[in-house]
Amino acid sequence: MLSRSLLRLATTPMRRGVRGVDFVRNRFTNKGTAFTLEERRHLNIEGMLPPNVETLEDQVERHWEQFRRFNAPINKYQHLRNVMSTNVTLYYAFVIEHLKESLPIIYTPTVGEACTRYGNLYTNDHGLYIDIENIGNIRKLIRNSRKENVEVIVLTDGSRILGLGDLGVNGIGISIGKTSLYVAAGGISPGRVLPVVMDCGTDNLTLRNNPLYLGTRKRRCDDATFYKLLDEFMEAAKEEWPTAVIQFEDFSNNHCFDMMERYQNKYRCFNDDIQGTGAVVSAGLLSALSQIGATSLADQRIVFFGAGSAATGVAESIADVTAAHFKTTKDEMHKVTYFVDSKGLVTTTRGDTLAKHKVPWARADIPAEDYKKLTSLEEVVEYVKPTVLIGLSAAGGAFTKEIVEHMAANCEHPIIFPLSNPSSKAEIQPSDAYKWSNGKAIVASGSPFPAINLNGRILQPSQGNNLYIFPGVGLGCIIAQPTCIPQEVLVAAALRLAQLPSQADKEAGLLYPPIEQVRAVSTEIAVACIRKMQELGVATVELPDNTPELRKIVKKRMWVPVYAAESHYLSLDLLDSPADQSGSKGLLKEANFRI
């Protein structure tokens, strides 16, 4: 027998079509308290909102007050995710207005904690899940997303999230964070970005045993299955969204370079961990060398601590960028570069089998008897006497006081880049790098760190954030529609970024422009990338070949968070006019792409 409530529901005539409330519930069309009184009457949502009508600026201010009251960063993260889930325009207006404060929350370091706890914190989602159980059915999953005109896809398999290791399907948090930054920093329309996780299982036993874990509870699949799934996704994504840029994010060392070889010339794709990080670190290194008056790479000695795919990829990028800047060969970079892994200095004489990506960087000029004394980072630093120390090891605190003091004793301004994320994995606290070098160090970190007052001097570490690179690269590719994204495009981005710090930035010791200027930076990076694509002949859209005109086109193309005009809603046909509801249905369908 039906309950009274179910009986009422069963006998109530169903009113079909689009209702005004649908525009409140759709995160792309919702204006919340900013709906005008006339819009509320027309949409039949009177009584669903407080009577006072606010502006977008009023709403941003309210959420800023709420944001500041949260003490724990993860609570701030959840607050902003809730805003994103209900009102996309408000979310991005807030992030752009308070970018410096928002960035450590929606990206590193807080996003790392959010990923580790993703299943426990889960409430809703805006991403796409591709799993091995659906091999052969990926096109259907893509179409189920009901996303049209996707321009940027951030794809991860969760196998190497930041410095936190294998997080499985929880890695979707990184894709969500990066797509948010494409919008906030690169001006991509929020309905045209798509975070995707490829669930291939996880070797993280803690996750598999967590009852709230949301992914496949199996060990990671073998390489054949991995590439079968990825091949199918790449082909289906190109078919469904032929203009999209695909960014590979946080894939493990054993797949990174092979993926680039497999897809780079066939699809419009790039690897942010290798190429994006490489570009931003290269730009920072050029800025640092400029500050110390270096005119040649040959005078430098560079030690990398960490020899994974990201580290060797960064070294390759530095080789490309410095070769272009100093007009030298890439061999010069190889001559001055040393890698240290868990076994010590990477050489051809130490007797072990090296991973493929390490082989080009293995030193062949170190006698075997010397290598026996080079099994730790400190021993290598004493032996090499580096002028540049770059950390991509995820080994927090690895750059000790002795190492910094040794560098400071052998060069006037040691360049120290602790780049591992999140901040707990940083090889050194920038404040310690300054203290132990008596303020002489030039520092760029992967995560944001505060300034330090040392003997009356305010020393602010730069943040070598990929945010300076990937949004502009993506924006440039969306506009120029290249057949592929050659490495030369990333080199052009790095060279342009190195030119952007102002004289005031340089005098303050900064290697990059302030992060608040990132939308202007993205404009310049996009222009530089387009010019390089035109030069290489890979751009398929006919565009002006001069920088001022391109800059105008790029700026015009960038999305800004503003609410649709009142007339936009008043022109809609709603439920009260059932004869023609195409306008309202169309807006809801196209909300992701038109707002």
Q: What CATH number is attached to the domain comprising 77?
A: 1.20.1370.30
Q: Is a pLDDT exceeding 60 seen at residue 382?
A: yes
The confidence band for 577, taking pLDDT boundaries of 50, 70 and 90, is very low
The confidence band for 372, taking pLDDT boundaries of 50, 70 and 90, is confident
Assigned domain for 194 exists: yes
Q: Are residues 381 and 439 in the same domain?
A: yes
Q: Do 398 and 391 form a contact (C-beta atoms < 8 A)? A: yes
Which 3 state secondary structure label does DSSP give 54? coil
- The pLDDT of 266-279, averaged and rounded, is 95
Q: Are residues 213 and 331 in the same domain?
A: no
What six digits make up the tokens of 320? 């490309």
Selected residue with higher pLDDT from 574 and 192: 192
- Measured between alpha carbons, how far is 501 from 384 in angstroms, rounded to an integer? 31
Q: Is a pLDDT exceeding 50 seen at residue 159?
A: yes
Q: Which of 212, 245, 271 is the last residue of a domain?
A: 271
Q: Are residues 101 and 121 in the same domain?
A: no
Q: Are residues 319 and 287 in the same domain?
A: yes
Percent of the chain with pLDDT over 90: 80
CATH of the domain at 156: 3.40.50.10380
Residue 507 known to bind ligand: no
Assigned domain for 10 exists: no
Q: Is a pLDDT exceeding 90 seen at residue 305?
A: yes
Q: How many domains does the chain have?
A: 4
Percent of the chain with pLDDT over 70: 94
Q: What is the pLDDT of the chain when averaged over all its residues? A: 91
Q: Is a pLDDT exceeding 90 seen at residue 419?
A: yes
Q: Is a pLDDT exceeding 50 seen at residue 15?
A: no
Q: Do 427 and 391 form a contact (C-beta atoms < 8 A)? A: yes
Q: Which of 271, 301, 321 is the last residue of a domain?
A: 271
Neighbour count for residue 327 (Cβ, 10 Å): 7
Residue 223 known to bind ligand: no
Is the bond preceding residue 109 a cis peptide, omega within 30 degrees?
yes
Q: Is a pLDDT exceeding 50 seen at residue 533?
A: yes
Assigned domain for 9 exists: no
Q: Are residues 508 and 538 in the same domain?
A: yes
Residue 370 known to bind ligand: no
pLDDT of residue 587: 64
Assigned domain for 323 exists: yes
- The pLDDT of 427-446, averaged and rounded, is 96
User: What is the helix (H) or strand (E) element at residue 459, kind and residue range?
Assistant: strand 457-459
Which 3 state secondary structure label does DSSP give 128? strand
Q: Is a pLDDT exceeding 90 seen at residue 581?
A: no
Q: Is a pLDDT exceeding 80 seen at residue 18?
A: no
- The pLDDT of 356-371, averaged and rounded, is 88
Q: Are residues 100 and 113 in the same domain?
A: no
Residue 273 known to bind ligand: yes
Sign (positive or negative) of CA dihedral 105, 108, 112, 118: positive
Which 3 state secondary structure label does DSSP give 587? helix
Q: Are residues 253 and 299 in the same domain?
A: no
- Measured between alpha carbons, how far is 390 from 433 in angstroms, rounded to an integer? 13
- Measured between alpha carbons, how far is 573 from 577 in angstroms, rounded to an integer? 6
pTM equals 0.91
Residue with tokens 């996009």: 526
pLDDT of residue 576: 47
Q: Are residues 502 and 450 in the same domain?
A: no
Selected residue with higher pLDDT from 568 and 136: 136
pLDDT of residue 583: 57
Residue 250 known to bind ligand: yes
User: Max Cα separation, the chain?
Assistant: 89
Q: Is a pLDDT exceeding 70 seen at residue 21?
A: yes
- The pLDDT of 293-304, averaged and rounded, is 91
The confidence band for 7, taking pLDDT boundaries of 50, 70 and 90, is very low
Range of the domain at 55: 26-106
Q: Is a pLDDT exceeding 90 seen at residue 71?
A: yes
Residue 46 known to bind ligand: no
- Measured between alpha carbons, how far is 62 from 48 in angstroms, rounded to an integer? 19
Q: Do 107 and 448 form a contact (C-beta atoms < 8 A)? A: no
The confidence band for 589, taking pLDDT boundaries of 50, 70 and 90, is low
| CA dist 31 → 34, 46, 86, 191, 240 (Å) | 5, 14, 9, 16, 30
Assigned domain for 16 exists: no
- The pLDDT of 292-310, averaged and rounded, is 91
CATH of the domain at 416: 3.40.50.720
Number of separate helices (H) and strands (E) present in the chain: 28, 14
The confidence band for 146, taking pLDDT boundaries of 50, 70 and 90, is confident
Q: Are residues 412 and 387 in the same domain?
A: yes
Q: What is the pLDDT of residues 539-562, one digit of tens each?
A: 999 999 999 999 999 999 999 999
Assigned domain for 584 exists: no
- The pLDDT of 172-184, averaged and rounded, is 97
Q: Are residues 500 and 438 in the same domain?
A: no
Q: Do 196 and 130 form a contact (C-beta atoms < 8 A)? A: yes
pLDDT of residue 575: 54
Q: Is a pLDDT exceeding 50 seen at residue 392?
A: yes
Residues serving a catalytic function are 107, 178
Assigned domain for 580 exists: no
Which 3 state secondary structure label does DSSP give 245? strand
Q: Is a pLDDT exceeding 80 seen at residue 538?
A: yes
Least confident window among 3-12, 62-71, 507-516 = 3-12
Q: Are residues 164 and 266 in the same domain?
A: yes
pLDDT of residue 473: 98
Q: Residue 454: which of 432, 474, 473 has the closest Cα?
A: 432
Q: Are residues 218 and 288 in the same domain?
A: no
Q: Where are the beta strands (DSSP E) in 461-540?
A: 462-463
Assigned domain for 1 exists: no
Q: Is a pLDDT exceeding 80 seen at residue 313?
A: yes
Q: Which of 81, 106, 131 is the last residue of a domain?
A: 106
- The pLDDT of 566-585, averaged and rounded, is 65
